[in-house]
Amino acid sequence: MSRKTDRSNRKRKRVGWDNELAVVIPRMDEQPINFEDEDKDMHDVVLVVQGKKFFCSKIILAKHSGIMKSMFFGPYEEREKKEIELHDVSIVDFNNFLLLIHGALEVNDENLVGLLKLSNMWLAPIPLKKCRDFLMNESEKPIKDRYDLSVQYDFEDVKTSIVKNVTNTYEFRQLIPDDIKTFDPSTMALFLEKSLKLNGITPGKPEVWPLYNIDPYGCESPISQRHQRAPSPFRRDSPSPPHGRNRGRAARRREARESPSSPSDESDFRWDNLNWNIND
């Protein structure tokens, strides 16, 4: 075994399998806080997650989680247990949750989803607020993922901020669900307002020509004049049509005869030209 491989094995170890992928977390002794320490003076409860034991403090967990407080100090059978098994929780997410409430972990895009799940499930307001603040101000996840998380956990301010910061129709379309029946009712008015704004429409304000077309990339281009309303020949205030083929044949002949610069007879015109050519 090479020195590099041996060093890697000492730093990390495999703790389980999930969907055919190995779940790897740092060793407890390499973390800021070691939850494998069996010192009885440092813990008063053992929480088992997927067969792995975490030695924890009831008081710290109860201060951050309403569910944990009821479980440890309420009228439940878990109150008297020294070892409690937790279900529907992954080892990595629970380890991150413990580090977060002990102030030894910052929220990032990698641990955000797991921390949101546990913080919401266990009614932990402080960890949930940290996740909400990160989602609104620092997360670099795609706009669709950020919006779906804000809807899932009912973050009204995050939803409003995401929709208001949409700058083009491409981002706007990503927020529209595939099934319109699943549309979040609380944001329908906000979406309508953003749609009108992207199309250059302001409610209660008359439109000023020319209108503008907005392409999917947010660029604006004035509508051609030919798309605007053309004068109708049936309106009295319409200007007279220009000289051309639309005029009647009789009117063109009458103007030709009345014009002083044009001959009154087509035959005279032809003979004049002929005489002029002969004399020349």
Task: Determine which of 56-70, 136-150, 184-198 has the lowest per-residue pLDDT on average.
Answer: 184-198
Residue 191: Cβ within 10 Å count: 16
Go through 114-145 and write b for each residue having 16 or more CB atoms within 10 A of its CB, e for each that does not.
Answer: bbbbbbeebebeebbebbbebbbeebeeebee
Query: What CA–CA distance (Å, rounded) separates 175 from 156?
Result: 15
Tens-place pLDDT, residues 16-62: 434 434 445 555 556 778 888 888 888 999 999 999 999 999 999 99
**Mean predicted confidence (pLDDT) in 186-191:** 86
Are 48 and 85 a contacting pair, CB within 8 Å? yes
- Cβ atoms < 10 Å from Cβ of 183: 14
Q: What is the DSSP string of the chain?
A: --HHHHHHHHHEEEEEEETTEEEEEE-GGGSSS-TT---TTT-SEEEEETTEEEEE-HHHHHHH-HHHHHHHHSSSGGGG-SEEEE-S--HHHHHHHHHHHTT-----TTTHHHHHHHHHHTT-HHHHHHHHHHHHHT--S-HHHHHHHHHHTT-HHHHHHHHHT--SHHHHHHHS-SSGGG--GGGHHHHHHHHHHHTT--TTS---SSPEEE-TTS-EEEPPGGGSPPPPTTSTTSPPPPSSTTS-HHHHHHHHHH-TTS-S-HHHHHHHHHHHHHH-
The DSSP secondary structure of 225-248, one letter per residue, reads: GGGSPPPPTTSTTSPPPPSSTTS-
How are beta strands 45-49 and 83-86 bridged, if at all? parallel
Instruction: Give the whole-angstrom CA distance, residue 165 versus residue 174.
Output: 13
119 vs 266 pLDDT, higher one = 119
Residue with tokens 């919006």: 147
Between 28-42, 61-75, 150-164, 177-191, the lowest mean confidence (pLDDT) is in: 28-42
By C-alpha distance, which of 145, 191, 184, 149 is closest to 169? 191
**DSSP β-bridge partners for residue 13:** 25
The domains located in the chain, with CATH, are 6-104 (3.30.710.10), 156-223 (no CATH)
- Segment 93-102, tens digit of pLDDT: 999 999 999 9
Averaged pLDDT for residues 234-256 = 59
Structure tokens at 266: 């087509």
Does 211 have pLDDT greater than 60?
no
Compute φ and ψ for 271, nearest 5 degrees: -65, -40
What pLDDT is stored for residue 178 in this prediction? 84
